[in-house]
Structure 1
Amino acid sequence: MPISTINDSISESSVHKSSIPTKIEMSQNEKYSEAPSEAPTIPPPPEQYAWSRIRENCQDAFSEFFGTFVLLLFGDGVVAQVVLSRGTKGDYQSISWGWGLGVMLGVYVGGKSGGHLNPAVTLANCLFRGHPWRKFPVYAIAQVLGAMAAAAVVYGNYKSAIDAYEGGPGIRTVIGENATAGVFCTYPAEFMTRTGMFFSEFIASTILQFVIFAMADSANIGAGPLMPLGLFFLIFGIGACFGWETGYAINLARDFGPRLVSYMLGYGSEVWSAGGYYFWIPMVAPFFGCAFGGFLYDVFIYTGPSPINTPGMGFGRLVSPRRSTWSNTYNANSPV
């Protein structure tokens, strides 16, 4: 073999051998020159829609509005059917059943806010169960507006029947044989005295709140998840046993809201003057009755947290309140 050929072979072999580590070195350099992988990032939470924020902030008001709306839809609806059919499509017991169903279904709808559906019930919860006072006007306004909306819907649904019952379009009567104002709000029996009117609403409201606290008391038998059903029987019982004389309004929103709607729909100022200006009694008596009913239950039966179960039965809080006036914030320096 020629020397030149041997040299060429050696040269090629050297080049080839030297190229191997070079390739390995390059691959290693490439390997270590890669940027380290970044830690996985958590995607930002999805943007909350404007309506979602509104609904979240106003959920208590919406719940009370629609809960009371459903209550009045069934309550005024059953009264309309019984009255306008002249008793052929129901009787007084039908009205008691209808109002009981209305309360039960309304509580199911408005359960997220507590399902008060009644400013007097909200007041009792503020007084005895630590419900924030700052929420009282929100609840009360929502309840009244819900009742007004339901009364307007019932009127629209039964307008033709009202025209036929009254004797023609545009005729609207508050007191009389063909009166239809009682479809929407309560009016007392003719024989009732002013004292009797007030006491009838007061005692019915007292029973209402006393039994509500009993059903909500976990230390008692309690109603638990059957609370709406218990309220159905409670309202049915109040209507069947205590409702004849004044119509058992027991609720400012249930009476004042539809009364205002009936005034605006053409029944006139007599909705306020009828029964010796009876309109103020179902606005005021339920507050006294529910407060008294809650007081009675806490004094004699309830053993949980309540102003009644504090030194001085809660009267010390009038001087040095332990809870903030507008919230459930405690004043740690208060002895009561």
Structure 2
Amino acid sequence: MGFAEIFVWEMLGTATLILLGAGVVANVNLRRTLGFGGGWLLIAFGWGFAVFVGASVADPSGGHINPAVTLGQAIAGNTSWSALPAYWSAQFVGAFIGAVLCWLAYKLQFDTHDKPQDTLGIFATGPTVDNKVWNTVTEVIATFVLLLWILLSPAASEGPDGTVFGNAALGYAGVAFLVVAIGSSLGGPTGYAINPARDLGPRIAYAVLPIKGKGTPNWGYSWVPVVGPLIGAALAALTYLALPI
């Protein structure tokens, strides 16, 4: 698959991921919505379903929709290193577009929200306790779990009666369940970016969108949800290669 095809599918998939993922956060946090106050569990499930839909859209290109996944797959030998520029550029562009679409869908709610200075969290992640070293550790661990599961997930098998089983039989739904689990269990400290594009693309969008009374993009933290997931993905891929499989 060439650069253009990878770019189109990954851009579409990542834009869908962010539109739905940021959308569920907006629905829970913006006051004049039907989902206001829905809580962390709704957000975790919303992001899980967003991964399912986004990866399904990007299936022709492998459904990465995450620079950390692409890096891990490249280290593991499953993706060509020469394809990284296409994947990464598409994922960051798609994430920016998805964030803009989320803002458009909720523009009236942004305009009438009583605390517009606190809306960064709809687009990007942030720590509950600000310690960038430990925040990075949290992102490393969460992304390690994501990538190791993806790399170790067994292929679907077919039984004598034609029944298909194994993790891969679930398709992208399996990854969606994993994202819900990560969000529910490891998402509390940092908001579980586990995806550099998922955080940086929307953070840039937040910086340029005309949201009335908005706060700062918190650039001082922005490197953590980029570096942490990439380290976690690399460690997971190296662990995978070291296992006697």
Q: Which letter does structure 2 place at the counterpart of 1:181? A: L
Pick the aligned partner of 1:187 from 126, 133, 138: 126
Q: Do 1:125 and 1:131's aligned partners in 2 also have CA atoms closer than 8 Å? A: yes
Cα deviation code 1:194-243 (max 9, x no counterpart)? 22211111100100100011225569x85234220100110000000000
Distance in 2 separating the partners of 1:57 and 1:148: 19
Q: Which letter does structure 1 place at the counterpart of 2:123? A: F
Aligned: 1:65 with 2:25: no
Aligned: 1:114 with 2:62: yes
Q: Do 1:166 and 1:180's aligned partners in 2 also have CA atoms closer than 8 Å? A: no
Aligned: 1:162 with 2:110: yes
Q: CA deviation at 1:56?
A: 7.3
Pick the aligned partner of 1:152 from 100, 119, 125: 100
Q: Which letter does structure 2 place at the counterpart of 1:125? A: Q
Q: CA deviation at 1:193?
A: 1.7
Distance in 2 separating the partners of 1:61 and 1:136: 10
Shift in alpha-carbon separation, 1:113–1:232, aligned structure 2, 3 A: same
Structure 1 runs of 4+ with >3 Å offset: 85-89, 216-219, 266-269
Distance in 1 separating the partners of 2:166 and 2:237: 15
Residue matched to 1:14: none
Distance in 1 separating the partners of 2:124 and 2:155: 32
TM-score (norm 1): 0.65
Q: Do 1:147 and 1:257's aligned partners in 2 also have CA atoms closer than 8 Å? A: yes
Distance in 2 separating the partners of 1:120 and 1:251: 6
Distance in 1 separating the partners of 2:175 and 2:138: 20
Residue matched to 1:80: 26
Residue matched to 1:245: 189
Q: CA deviation at 1:79?
A: 0.2
Q: Which letter does structure 2 place at the counterpart of 1:143? A: Q
Q: Do 1:66 and 1:110's aligned partners in 2 also have CA atoms closer than 8 Å? A: yes
- Equivalent residues, number: 234
Distance in 2 separating the partners of 1:233 and 1:85: 28
Residue matched to 1:27: none
Rg larger in 1 or in 2?
Answer: 1
Aligned: 1:257 with 2:196: no
Q: Which moved more, 1:73-82 or 1:58-67?
A: 58-67
In structure 1, the residue corresponding to 2:171 is in which secondary structure?
Answer: helix
Q: Which letter does structure 2 place at the counterpart of 1:188? A: P
In structure 2, the residue corresponding to 1:152 is in which secondary structure?
Answer: helix
Higher RCO, 1 or 2 (CA under 8 Å, sep at least 6)? 2
Q: Do 1:198 and 1:281's aligned partners in 2 also have CA atoms closer than 8 Å? A: yes
Aligned: 1:296 with 2:234: no
Distance in 1 separating the partners of 2:25 and 2:59: 25
Distance in 2 separating the partners of 1:204 and 1:283: 13
Residue matched to 1:329: none
Distance in 1 separating the partners of 2:173 and 2:122: 25
Q: Do 1:215 and 1:230's aligned partners in 2 also have CA atoms closer than 8 Å? A: no
Q: Do 2:119 and 2:215's aligned partners in 1 also have CA atoms closer than 8 Å? A: no
Structure 1 portions without partners, runs of 5+: 1-54, 174-178, 304-336
Aligned: 1:142 with 2:86: no
Shift in alpha-carbon separation, 1:60–1:92, aligned structure 2, 3 A: same
Structure 2 portions without partners, runs of 5+: 158-164
Distance in 2 separating the partners of 1:92 and 1:132: 37
Q: Do 1:216 and 1:227's aligned partners in 2 also have CA atoms closer than 8 Å? A: no
Cα deviation code 1:68-120 (max 9, x no counterpart)? 11111110000000001386452110000000001111111111111111111
Residue matched to 1:16: none
Shift in alpha-carbon separation, 1:293–1:89, aligned structure 2, 3 A: same
Residue matched to 2:138: 200
Aligned: 1:101 with 2:44: no
Q: Which letter does structure 2 place at the counterpart of 1:67? A: G
- The root-mean-square deviation of aligned C-alpha atoms, in Å, is 2.2
Q: Which letter does structure 2 place at the counterpart of 1:184? A: F
Q: Do 1:192 and 1:245's aligned partners in 2 also have CA atoms closer than 8 Å? A: no
Distance in 2 separating the partners of 1:211 and 1:67: 21
